[in-house]
Amino acid sequence: MLVGGAAVEFYSGSTISTGDFDIVTARQDQFEDILRKHGFVRPSGPGKATRGWIHPDLQLGFEVVSSSLLDGMADRDRIVMVRVGTDGFAAFVSLEDMVADRMGQYASGSAPDMLDQARTLYRLYSDADRAYMDARIRHETAGDYGIEALDG
């Protein structure tokens, strides 16, 4: 399942561009075997420390960030399935959970730009489930923020 920057880029229609693909999978070994078979490598050497995989020709990066979706707090019924090509699908974390994740990162103090990302996504989706989003934001921010923080 795609989370993080890839999900933000998807939901924002590339208004926000990150260039990385954060993945949640309970099958990390199998996923990384597939990446390896398709030419992805783990960069090494000075200044190249990463937990992820890069394709040297395509310059795409993938990183498995967790084995469970938002530490099990996301509603799995809200996962968004998107057709890829003629015979595949990609799974995305829900918009509401993505906004809550960004707010959690903002609240931690480690990523001040995440508030702008959360606000952009919120503005793009007037039909989002506001009650669910508010509950998720409050959980991710330990009650410091709610949906009203997105109106700024």
Q: Which domains does the chain have, with CATH numbers?
A: 2-140 (3.30.460)
Q: Would you state the pLDDT for residue 60?
A: 84
Q: Would you state the pLDDT for residue 58?
A: 86
In tens, the pLDDT along 38-93 reads 999 998 766 655 678 999 898 888 999 999 888 888 888 999 999 988 989 999 99
Nearest alpha-carbon partner for 25 in 7, 52, 3, 51? 3
Give how far the C-alpha of residue 95 lies from the chain's centroid of Cα atoms, to the nearest Å: 10
d(CA 81, CA 113): 27
Q: Would you state the pLDDT for residue 135?
A: 97
C-alpha dist (Å) from residue 13 to 5, 17, 72: 12, 9, 27
For residue 111, pLDDT beyond 80: yes
Least confident span in 49-58, 110-119, 126-135: 49-58
